Every structure is written in C-alpha cells, then in structure tokens.
Structure 1
Amino acid sequence: MAEFVTHEVRPAASGEMIDHCLLGYDDRFLRRKVIGTVGGRRLLVNLARTTSLDHGDAFVLEGGGLVGVRAAPEPLYAVTGDLLRLAWHIGNRHTPCQIEPERLVIQRDPVIGHMLSHLGATLREIEEPFSPEGGAYGHGRTHAHEHGATTHAH
C-alpha cells in the first residue's frame, strides 16, 4: 500500500519538498505507478493522462506537500565530433538527445553508437542525469510523435 497519493504534477516546482524521487528518463514518462522515494516512502502516482516529467517538477500530494522529481544518473554516451551532422543523424532516428555546446548526450544504444562511430563521432560512456530536448513544439517526448492537436503515423 502506498503511503502517499498524487493526482497532480507541478512543473518547475518551488517550495519545501517533504521528499524526492530519483527517476531515469524512461521512468519520468508515466500515468499510474507506485514509485519509491529517496526517504523510503511509497507514492502512488495516479495522473489523468500520461505525463512527461522533468527534473525539478514535483508531485502534489493529497492533503498537501510536495515530492520533488530529480533526474537519476543513467548509462549514456557523450558524443563529440561534427555536432551539427551528428545531431541530424540522431534526430533522423527520433532518438532523444540532450544538446550541449560541446557535446550531444544520448542513451546508450549499441546500434546508434556504431552508426555514430562510423560517421566519425567520438563516444564516451558516462553515467549522468539525462534531460533531452522536448518535441518539435518544445514539450513532450520526441518519440511520441504528437504534433499539437493532430497525431499521425510516419
């Protein structure tokens, strides 16, 4: 049984957090799930629709209080080389990508890694929190293919 229940997320929340949870990128895409907090509590997340959470968001608890969301370290590649060309190939495969001035960061995937190496990229295995760019309209998951009010298949 969960200790806390939430039906609401507060984006980029500020205020005093009673606890927080560490969630990887894939785990920050949810609708209904019991998750554990760093403090050892259990939280039933029961949202109206599937939601993509960002580092810094918070769950609003029934009865008050906030549980913060933090991006957990996970296995990634730091990609360097011709970043514009490499970013194009990564995006063309709908691969989530964190774009930084000196590197691109993607989840470890041996097939994508091989392709990037073949294109001249240097890959370094890292373990860090992952916060890729949102979709084409600045929010959501890049692989969801949701474009505003309409959805279409590729």
Structure 2
Amino acid sequence: MTQTPIIANVYRSHPHGPVSGKIALDYDGRFLRRKTLTTDDGLSLLVDLAKTTSLDHGGVLVLEDGRQVEIIAAPENLLHVTGDNLPRLAWHIGNRHTPCQIEPDRLLIQRDHVIHDMLVQIGATVHEVVEPFTPEGGAYGHGRTHGHSH
C-alpha cells in the first residue's frame, strides 16, 4: 500500500524546537516549490511552498501536524579551488555567475570542466572532491542569483 504524503507548506531558515526527521538534498535539489520527497527514515512528504524557495542547510520544513524536518546539504561532486590570489579566483567564478562556497583558504564550486580549465589557466590548483555544498546566497541577503537582472 502506498503511503499518502504528509504536506509541508512552511519553510523556516532554522528550527523552532526539536526536529523529528532529516532529509538530505544536494544544492539543486534544495531549490524547489512543489515536490514529493522522502526523509532519511522513510516518511513521504509533499512539499508545497507558496513560491520557489532556496532551502538552506539547517533549515526546516514544517509539516501540517507541526513536526519539523531538517534540511541537510548532501555530499555532491565539487571542485576544490585554491591558489595564491583567492579573491581574484573568486571574482572570475562570480563573473560567470557560478555558485561558490567561499572559505578562508579555499573555494568550492560544482564540477564543470570549462570552469575547471579556466581556473587552471589563470593559476588555480583544482581538485575534485565529494562534499556538502553550501554556496553564498544572493547579493541582497538571501536566495540564489540568476543572471544580471538584479
């Protein structure tokens, strides 16, 4: 017998009380409005948000019965970028509107052979890794960036 999904139609950037489950999603999977998902313990959810939302690692979906399901950034295929001039490398990545996780001693981006080759050509050291990906949000404090229509 198929389980009827429980509806989750509220998203919060952090839990308000204990969480009752977790769901691991990659970066692309954390950008949604309406989708059926399954928690790590097998609970079926119908996420039905009012608008397309970028779910953050550590945020929660609130179920219709009040329980909260925590969002976890799942490991995914990334490029680990280092170099002598990290701000310059970050600028080139940003100039291509590529999501980027910025840390003091490295940058993480999704695997892309064109960006990989460009970074190596301008002096970066690039390695493939599998890790959770939590890139910077938009320039105005939240969300994702898309194109030049800020």
TM-score by length of structure 2 reads: 0.93
Whether 1:131 aligns to 2:134 is yes
Tell me, in whole angstroms, the C-alpha distance in 1 between the residues paired with 2:114 and 2:35.
30
Match of 1:102 among 93, 96, 105: 105
Q: Report the alpha carbon displacement of residue 2 of structure 1 after superposing the two structures with TM.
A: 3.8
Whether 1:120 aligns to 2:117 is no
Matches within 5 A, 1:46-85: 46-81=48-83, 82-85=85-88
Change (3 A) 1:145 1:36: farther
Offset from partner CA, 1:38-82 (integer Å, 9 cap, x none): 001111000000000100100100011001100000010110012
The letter of the residue matching 1:87 is: A
Match of 1:141 among 130, 133, 144: 144
Q: Report the alpha carbon displacement of residue 146 of structure 1 after superposing the two structures with TM.
A: 5.8
Query: How big is the alpha-carbon RMSD for the aligned residues of Structure 1 and Structure 2?
Result: 1.3
Paired residues in the alignment total 147
Change (3 A) 1:54 1:39: same
What SS does structure 1 have at the residue aligned with 2:52? strand
Change (3 A) 1:125 1:57: same
Alignment gaps of 5+ in structure 1: 148-154
Deviating 4+ runs (over 6 angstroms): none
Instruction: Check conservation: 1:95, 1:142, Cα contact below 8 A.
Output: no
Q: Report the alpha carbon displacement of residue 143 of structure 1 after superposing the two structures with TM.
A: 2.5
Match of 1:15 among 14, 17, 24: 17
Instruction: Check conservation: 2:116, 2:126, Cα contact below 8 A.
Output: yes
Instruction: Check conservation: 1:134, 1:140, Cα contact below 8 A.
Output: yes
Instruction: Check conservation: 1:7, 1:61, Cα contact below 8 A.
Output: yes
